[in-house]
């Protein structure tokens, strides 16, 4: 039986070209849409074997396609999804890969190699994960977030420390006791790897780390 595909791509020429290529290799495009909302509706209507979607689509051309793909994966675990991107965007790849096996993240210029593209689609259909080599390289070399280990409350406390507030001021702002604030501060310093020393102010070092990690 032919593999039933939903294709989401706002570029008419690329969309029509993909429909033709997929048809040549035994895939049947049961619906081709131009935005993320139509994609979600089409999947509900047709229950496809595979979804192929651009990341950036109307109305804002930001991450509509990616968010739709992640939503579909959560609503339909195991649904094979391949997203296409014009550029390497590491955070998008991480979001998609985090939904489990049976996904693909490919750069659009790789689609020009039709045999490789078809091989990637079949890998995803079989439950594998395919990520463009350039995306993998970027992910491996992405700087680690030094604040990743902090809880939301600890980040909040650190932000207030960065404003120059004392523990008592932070306690008043967060409606907690000074003791609780002290424990949060201790956890923050420990998680940031700032042990007690005679020649450094750990609160200042924590603030510098916080400021350096902000986008």
Residue ranges in the chain whose pLDDT is less than 70 = 88-92, 136-144, 195, 197-200, 214-215
Distances from the Cα of 204 to the Cα of 28, 131, 146, 169, 201, angstroms: 60, 40, 15, 17, 5
**pLDDT by residue (tens digit) across 109-159?**
877 789 999 999 999 999 998 888 777 666 655 556 778 778 889 989 999
Beta-bridge partners for 50: 5
Asked if residue 181 lies in contact with residue 171, where contact means CB atoms within 8 angstroms, the answer is yes
Asked if residue 34 lies in contact with residue 9, where contact means CB atoms within 8 angstroms, the answer is yes
CA end-to-end span of the chain: 49
Q: What is the pTM of this model?
A: 0.65
Residue 51: the pLDDT is 98
Cβ-in-10-Å burial (0-12, 13-18, 19+) of 132 comes to: buried
């Amino acid at each position: 039986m032919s593999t039933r595909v939903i294709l989401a791509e706002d570029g008419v020429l690329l969309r029509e070209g993909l429909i033709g290529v997929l048809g040549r290799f035994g895939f049947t495009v049961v619906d081709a849409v131009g935005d993320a909302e139509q994609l979600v509706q089409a999947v509900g209507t047709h229950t496809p074997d595979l979804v192929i979607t651009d990341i950036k689509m109307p109305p804002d051309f930001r991450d509509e396609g990616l968010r739709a793909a992640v939503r579909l994966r959560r609503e339909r675990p195991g649904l094979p999804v391949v997203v296409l991107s014009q550029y390497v965007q590491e955070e998008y790849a991480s979001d998609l890969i985090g939904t489990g096996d049976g996904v693909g993240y490919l750069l659009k210029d790789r689609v020009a190699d039709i045999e490789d593209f078809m091989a990637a689609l079949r890998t995803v259909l079989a439950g594998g994960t395919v990520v463009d080599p350039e995306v993998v390289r970027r992910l491996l070399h992405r700087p680690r977030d030094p604040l990743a280990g902090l809880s939301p409350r600890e980040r909040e406390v650190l932000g207030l420390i960065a404003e120059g507030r004392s523990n008592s001021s932070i306690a008043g702002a967060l409606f907690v006791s000074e003791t609780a604030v002290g424990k949060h501060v201790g956890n923050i310093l420990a998680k940031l790897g700032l042990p007690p020393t005679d020649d450094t102010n750990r609160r200042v070092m924590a603030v510098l780390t916080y400021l350096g990690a902000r986008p």
